[in-house]
Structure 1
């Protein structure tokens, strides 16, 4: 089968979880014998990445398009139009990136089946940003809704899709998965970890408030490392002011973006990873942390209630008090109980979220659409 995937951000760019999710999915499909073509933009790529030429990679054929502006993706659309003629299925990976709507229309003109993944863009907190533009785009997608299979990563996202496109919208639910890395050698260090882009939807301010009211954290040797790109500089500035106001400037460190082996080591060495987001359709950082055996505190705005059931972490409201109480629990946990959580975390990642062991879920969706 020939599959065309469109992505605004794509590996080796590490801005946002979908850039890696799409890569892992494309690689697993390529390993399973399918022909995968990925049309991506040059956004976030290093200067060493060749642009505007097809590259043979372990995830199939990939082209990184150089466009006049990120939101004027003319070459992205052109390459998508040229390539989709030989595709059996077209998979779009953003509702609001301008090329997605154009490619959806072109695919339907060619009679190509379309799968469309919002990747969290339809959650109420996400829709609060640029609401008028998004409302206009959604009204146009509404016209195509009967000819599209929408992909949801969790039941909540399936609900959001049907709220926007009607109860009869066709939705296939396939959770995000990853190519589980080998665990690195852990060097336990006294820090808590937030990993992700610095943006208001991540609710990092709630986490800082929680640490500010934790006497146990203040009196301990532990610090918080905030690792990720400052995708919202205004919010990043507000966080630094909040840290100074709470007198936590010696306990909280901004490390910037970390990737690859360094990122895995950050996860492995941490006591816990904390994801206090207002909303997530999945939250790749949770899975990346579990893969290194590090338990996670995730907010109830994320679809990670399984952490509680499997004793691989915690699923709590993202208010400061709830976060503080759970953080204190891990800071005072016995070594035996903590090791149990680490073991459960690694087991959960490998048994349920390995894309190579579960690629048949995606093959079934694509084959059903092509048929």
Structure 2
């Protein structure tokens, strides 16, 4: 198939980076689904969350060909307007896609370069306009939003919302807009069949999978576990990089106070390709997050047959009716505790009814053709786009 539309994706981190979590997975899935139809270029940094990638200087600041797409890893010295103009303008891109709102180097700078060029500009806030997200470092974000409006950059883009809740957030901050596309995130393809899990009554393996940061609310998860009945034996596995060191110290302090019926295993950051084997041995995800616009870890959990106990600050609602888990208000700790205890007391047969429901839902979601078409619409009509 001839690729007629040339797309540039700007993202702060990309594979082999993995610690930054959801944003990387969002773009990885998007590229894997669409690379056969679109000519995709990715501009990213040579870092992961808090560390430099081991790439070698010969692979930096030049376009590389990978599996069906091209990518450039930019070191800090080359993340500037002058170099961006040198590498972007000659390519004559039809579309540029920004995978973040609050990114100076990979949204604001390239957006200024492409501001007056005839092309399609698509921006994904990635949940950053949610109330919970804006409450973290609020001053810097208010300044950024003010500058964004001042330069009228919000008028130069097509907004990509991944959920109805994000549509409302975009409208609340930038007004009702015609240039807004609702396209839920694509998930990784499932190439396995469902396999029942072993489950002993009154015992459970629970995992937390996310960055260790205030927004993800690991302390909340620990607090709920501390209050469950001591007759339940829990193995609690924490998976994810430390993003906020002071917060992690508070978490460890609370972990040390847990009673002996809670065994805590700390795995740290785990590359995405190794997660499946770990999740296959787990029972439920516990993620009382303050905000998710999608929550790739939620879908990844379902893909491995793990129901979830999450907050109501995600697009995934009414989970109990579908036997997918529970979505609970952060103001109701008792319901979190009850949900954990319910899964803990389940025998193998009852648990696997929920587990199979989770897997079947994830498989149907992943194979939904209409979602693929919605995501293609982000890049279509690009050649004649006057924005």
- Above 0.5 in TM-score? yes
Contact 2:119–2:382, Cα closer than 8 Å, also in 1: no
Of 139, 159, 180, 2:168 maps to 159
The answer for the alignment partner of 1:78 in structure 2 is 83
How much does 1:221 deviate? 3.2
Counterpart CA distance in 2 for 1:64 and 1:249 is 46
Q: Please, which moves more after superposition, 7-16 or 173-182?
A: 173-182
Residues 21-63 of structure 1 show CA distances to partners (whole Å, capped at 9, x for unaligned) of 11110121112x2100000111115314632232212251011
Task: Tell me if 1:47 matches 2:61.
Answer: no
The number of residue pairs the alignment matches comes to: 364
How much does 1:222 deviate? 2.1
Contact 1:6–1:93, Cα closer than 8 Å, also in 2: yes
Contact 2:304–2:359, Cα closer than 8 Å, also in 1: yes
Counterpart CA distance in 1 for 2:144 and 2:377 is 29
Correspondence list, 1:246-265, <5 A = 246-247=258-259, 251-265=263-277
The answer for the alignment partner of 1:67 in structure 2 is 76
Classify 1:187/1:311 alpha carbon distance in 2 versus 1 (closer, same or farther; 3 Å). Answer: closer
Of 10, 13, 20, 1:9 maps to 13
What SS does structure 1 have at the residue aligned with 2:233? coil
Give the number of the structure with larger relative contact order, counting CA–CA contacts within 8 Å between residues 6 or more apart. 2
Counterpart CA distance in 2 for 1:57 and 1:342 is 36
Contact 2:238–2:265, Cα closer than 8 Å, also in 1: yes
The answer for the alignment partner of 1:338 in structure 2 is 351
Of 95, 101, 120, 1:89 maps to 95
Residues 119-165 of structure 1 show CA distances to partners (whole Å, capped at 9, x for unaligned) of 11111121122222211211222212222111111111111111111
Classify 1:225/1:330 alpha carbon distance in 2 versus 1 (closer, same or farther; 3 Å). Answer: same
Contact 1:308–1:314, Cα closer than 8 Å, also in 2: yes
Q: TM-score, normalised by structure 2?
A: 0.87
Counterpart CA distance in 2 for 1:221 and 1:156 is 37
Contact 2:196–2:356, Cα closer than 8 Å, also in 1: no
Contact 1:120–1:280, Cα closer than 8 Å, also in 2: yes
How much does 1:242 deviate? 1.3
Of 212, 215, 227, 2:226 maps to 212
Counterpart CA distance in 2 for 1:250 and 1:329 is 16
Correspondence list, 1:1-371, <5 A = 1-14=5-18, 15-31=20-36, 33-44=37-48, 46-48=53-55, 50-68=59-77, 73-74=79-80, 78-79=83-84, 82-84=87-89, 85-99=91-105, 100-142=107-149, 143-168=152-177, 170-183=179-192, 188=198, 190-215=204-229, 218-247=230-259, 251-305=263-317, 307-318=319-330, 319-354=332-367, 358-371=371-384
What SS does structure 1 have at the residue aligned with 2:8? strand
Q: Please, which moves more after superposition, 140-149 or 245-254?
A: 245-254
Classify 1:271/1:322 alpha carbon distance in 2 versus 1 (closer, same or farther; 3 Å). Answer: same
Contact 2:85–2:113, Cα closer than 8 Å, also in 1: no
> Please, what is the CA RMSD of the aligned residues?
2.4
Residues 254-286 of structure 1 show CA distances to partners (whole Å, capped at 9, x for unaligned) of 211112443111211111112210111111001
Q: Which 5+ residue runs of structure 1 have no aligned equivalent?
A: none
Classify 1:356/1:229 alpha carbon distance in 2 versus 1 (closer, same or farther; 3 Å). Answer: farther
How much does 1:293 deviate? 1.3
Q: Which 5+ residue runs of structure 2 have no aligned equivalent?
A: none
Q: TM-score, normalised by structure 1?
A: 0.90
Counterpart CA distance in 2 for 1:168 and 1:24 is 27
Q: Please, which moves more after superposition, 78-87 or 224-233?
A: 78-87
Counterpart CA distance in 1 for 2:104 and 2:122 is 16
Q: Please, which moves more after superposition, 333-342 or 45-54?
A: 45-54
Counterpart CA distance in 1 for 2:47 and 2:75 is 8
